[in-house]
Amino acid sequence: MSRMKFINEVVSQAQDCIDSLSELIAMLESNNSPKKEAEKAYSLEEVRAVLADLSRSGFTDDVRKLIKDYGANKLSEVESSRYADLMKDAKVIGHD
């Protein structure tokens, strides 16, 4: 085997090894990626209780604005599918 052919063979095998390692890394990263936790489903009563506590703590205007931000004039008009997001936003009220 000529020297140049040998070098080309080594380079080809090295590239195959690099490709295999890249695939392995991608597989390991996808297996170790944090799984998104399922969002808790909140009831109207749970959301109302949190917002009422905030309101009693002096954040009535913030609570009203939050409800408006969700396209409603009162809590009962907010779609239940948006309660989890509303709760996340409510938890930052008073913690600025």
pLDDT tens digit string along 73-92? 999 999 999 999 999 999 99
Considering its fold, how many domains does the chain have in total? 2
Is 36 a residue whose pLDDT tops 60?
A: no
Nearest Cα residue to 54 out of 92, 81, 85:
92
Q: What token pair was written down for 93?
A: 């009220």
Whether the per-residue pLDDT at 29 is higher than 90: the answer is no
Distance CA 62, CA 56 (A): 12
Q: Are 87 and 57 in the same domain?
A: yes
Predicted model pTM: 0.60
Average model confidence (pLDDT) across the chain: 87
Phi and psi, residue 55, nearest 5°: -65, -45
Q: Is the pLDDT reported for residue 6 higher than 90?
A: no
27 occurs within a structural domain:
yes
Q: What percent of the chain has pLDDT over 70?
A: 92
48 and 82: one domain?
A: yes
Provide the domain limits for residue 28.
Answer: 1-32
